[in-house]
Amino acid sequence: MLLLALAISSFGFGQRFHITNKKKFEKVKFELINNLMVVPVELNGSKLKFILDTGVSSPILFNLTSQDSIQVNQVSQILLRGLGDGDPIEALKSTKNKFKVGGAVSHNQMLYVVLDKDLNFSTSLGIPIHGIIGYDVFKDFVVEVNYTKRHLKLYNPEDYQYKDSKKIETIPLIIDGKKAFVDGAITREDDTEIPVKLLVDTGSSDALWLFHDPEKGLEIPNQNYEDFLGKGLNGNIFGKRTKLKGMRIGSFRFNEAKVAFPYKESFYAIKNLGNRNGSVGGEVLKRFNIIFDYPNNKLSLSKNSNFHDPFQYNLAGIDLQHNGVRYISESITDPRGVVKAEHSKNSLGNVQIILGNSTRLSLVPEIVVSSIRAGSPAAEAGLKEGDVILAVNGKSIHNYKLQEILQMLNQREGKRVRVLIERYDRDILYSFVLKDLFKTKKP
C-alpha cells in the first residue's frame, strides 16, 4: 500500500514552528507503519495522528467523521487538484490555527481540510489517520529521524552541531517549490548507470518511483506487472511494478531494487516536472538514520539495522484493508476450565459480551481483500476481492495488526500459505505457494 504526496500549492502566512521551552531539541516519538512515520499532532487542542510527509507542502486534514469535533479557523472554500486520475475536489482553506508537534508549536498555521470521505488511509494502515504534515515542520528545524528507535529530534538550526563521524555521509538536498530532492542513480541490466533526480518522499511507503522516459534511458524492464500503486488527492494511481538491477544514493548502493513506473495520467496536476525523474520513498529511507537540514540544503545518511533487509514484494498478490467491525465468538477458558488471558492486539476497547461461563463475543476489526492481482498465487487459488480474512496458517487474524497479517501472507518465496476466508456466510480454506515474479531464472 502506498501513500502519495498531495500535489497542491500553498501560501505563507508568517507561520513558523518554534520550540516553546529552552531545551536544545524536541523529541517526538512516531509509529512506523508500512514504512510511514505517524506522529501525534495537536490541532487547536484536538489530539490527532498525522503522517510526516516530506512530499507535502501544507498540512492537510481529512478522514473526518460525524463523531469528530475539531475546530478550524478562518475558513474559505476552494477546489484542490492533486495526484490521481479524477476531477478536482471541494475543500476548505483554513488559517490562524494552532499546531503542536511535541513541544514545537505554530500559532498561525494554514491548512487544507478535505471533505471527501473516500480520502481515507486509516483502512489501509489499520489505525486512525487524520492528516498529513511536512514542509512546515522541516523548514523550521534540523530534523533527525531515527527509524530504528522510532523518534524524531527537532533542533533549532542555529543551535545544531554536526557530529564528525565516518559513518555519516552528507549529500546536497535541493529545496524547490517547498519539496526536497536528491540526486541519485539507477543501474540498468547492461550495467549502465543513469543519473536521476528524486523527490524525497517520506509519505510514500514504496521504495522507488520512476517516470518512464526512454530518451533518458529510463525504460521499463520486460519483467513487470500492472498494479494499483496508491491513492492521490484526485483518485487512484496505477502503473507498472518491476525490479532494477540496482540504485544508488550518494555512495550507498542497493541491488535488485524494487521500483514502480506510475502512468503519466496520474501527474496531470503537476504542471512542470522539470528535471525530476521520480521519487524515493519509505522502503529505502527507513534503511538510514537521517538528518534533514532544509535551512542549509543538506541531507545526512547513516546505515541502520534495516539497511540489508530484502525489499518487500507482494508475493501473494492481495492487498487488505479494514472494513468495519464484526463480532467473533471465543472461548474464555482453556481445556482445564482456567480463564485465558486476553492478548489481542486489535481489541476495540473493552467491547465484549459474556455468554455463560466459558464464551464471549468480542468486537474486532473486519479485514477484507481490497484488491487482487490477476494471475497471482492468491487469484489462481480462488480468492476474490471482498473476501473476509479469518485466519492465516491456522492463526486467527484478530490477534494481529493489519501490517502483521500482510507480513504473514508474504513471508518468503516458495512458502505455502493457508488462508481461511468467509464468503457469503460460508467459510472456505484456500492454499497457495508464494511466488517471486522477478526471480532470475537459472540457465
Could you tell me the sign of the dihedral formed by the alpha carbons of 306, 439, 318, 119, in that order? Answer: positive
Q: What is the pLDDT averaged over residues 278-288?
A: 96
In 3D space, the residue among 40, 31, 16, 41 whose CA is nearest the CA of residue 141 turns out to be 16
CA angle 130, 320, 330 (to 5 degrees): 95
Query: Under a CB-based contact definition with an 8 Å cutoff, are residues 269 and 88 in contact?
Result: no
Q: Which residue did the predictor score with more confidence, 313 or 278?
A: 278
Amino acid at 268: Y
Q: Is the pLDDT of residue 442 over 50?
A: no
Q: Give residue for cell 481529512.
A: 62
* 141-171 confidence digits (pLDDT tens): 999 999 999 999 999 998 899 988 889 999 9
Amino acid at 221: P
In this prediction, residue 443 has a pLDDT band, given cuts at 50, 70 and 90, of very low
SS3 240: strand
Query: Under a CB-based contact definition with an 8 Å cutoff, are residues 279 and 199 in contact?
Result: yes
CATH number of 159-303: 2.40.70.10
> Could you tell me how far CA 38 lies from the centroid of its own chain?
9
* 202-234 confidence digits (pLDDT tens): 999 999 999 999 999 999 998 898 888 877 665
SS3 146: strand
Q: What is the C-alpha separation between 230 and 75, in angstroms, rounded?
A: 29
Q: What is the C-alpha separation between 205 and 56, in angstroms, rounded?
A: 14
CA angle 334, 337, 343 (to 5 degrees): 40
What percent of the chain lies above the pLDDT cut of 90? 47
Neighbour tally for 94: CB within 10 Å: 21
Q: Do domains 159-303 and 318-433 have the same CATH topology?
A: no
* 55-114 confidence digits (pLDDT tens): 888 888 886 654 456 777 777 877 666 555 556 667 788 889 999 998 899 988 888 888
Q: What is the C-alpha separation between 427 and 263, in angstroms, rounded?
A: 38
Q: What is the C-alpha separation between 90 and 47, in angstroms, rounded?
A: 25
CATH number of 18-137: 2.40.70.10
**What mean pLDDT is reported for the chain?**
82
Q: What is the C-alpha separation between 411 and 316, in angstroms, rounded?
A: 9
Query: Under a CB-based contact definition with an 8 Å cutoff, are residues 351 and 381 in contact?
Result: no
Query: Under a CB-based contact definition with an 8 Å cutoff, are residues 395 and 420 in contact?
Result: no
First to last CA, the chain: 34
Q: pLDDT at position 328, please?
A: 63
Q: Which residue did the predictor score with more confidence, 94 or 293?
A: 293
In 3D space, the residue among 131, 149, 148, 172 whose CA is nearest the CA of residue 292 turns out to be 172
Amino acid at 286: K
Q: pLDDT at position 8, please?
A: 39
Amino acid at 97: N
Q: pLDDT at position 12, please?
A: 43
Query: Under a CB-based contact definition with an 8 Å cutoff, are residues 249 and 171 in contact?
Result: yes
Query: What are the extents of the domains in the chain?
Result: 18-137, 159-303, 318-433
Query: Under a CB-based contact definition with an 8 Å cutoff, are residues 85 and 37 in contact?
Result: no
Neighbour tally for 329: CB within 10 Å: 10
Could you tell me the sign of the dihedral formed by the alpha carbons of 273, 237, 9, 141, in that order? Answer: negative
CATH number of 318-433: 2.30.42.10
Q: Is the pLDDT of residue 308 over 90?
A: yes
Q: pLDDT at position 234, please?
A: 59
Q: pLDDT at position 127, please?
A: 81
Q: What is the C-alpha separation between 50 and 53, in angstroms, rounded?
A: 9
* 389-432 confidence digits (pLDDT tens): 999 999 988 888 888 899 999 988 899 999 999 999 899 999 99
Q: How many CA atoms lie within 13 A of 253 on its CB side?
A: 8
